[in-house]
Structure 1
């Protein structure tokens, strides 16, 4: 998985590409939690380039969502499609996350 983070003030956009597996999920979690702890609490994660996500990746998104809420921020998932979107719906995480097209 490849990811990049663009920070602008109190907001950050995380771009994900390829597949999100357990090893990559921990790297992503560490990177995003670090910026949240620095005060960037409004996070948008762009999933439009993601073709697969496993349970570790979903768990990472849940952790990021929890941390943003603890810091009075917000996580928004954007561009989810295909298998990642189906897994989010099947696990009913679409009821937990804010999701944009």
Structure 2
């Protein structure tokens, strides 16, 4: 975990916010970000960092808020075929596995 993330976690915890850390543990094809990319999500849905944007990031954010309420961590797999990407005007598709860790 990068120093700036640790500092952000400390800052948000001092505000008594519940947090999740989402990080890519597997990436295939043309995924927008690589393994190890991470972001923080607060119980309010605010984020720090990015795992690539778009629909995948929105899904991760919503899932993280749910998992924070449930107080459990989970691994999820997201995929976007090249055709699905083209249909929405993107150049790349790909598949990622993301671990959402409650911290």
Per chain length, whose mean CA-contact separation is higher, i.e. which structure has more relative contact order (CA < 8 Å, sep 6+)? 2
Per the TM superposition, whether the score is higher than 0.5 is no
Structure with the largest fraction of helix: 1
State the structure with more CA Rg. 2
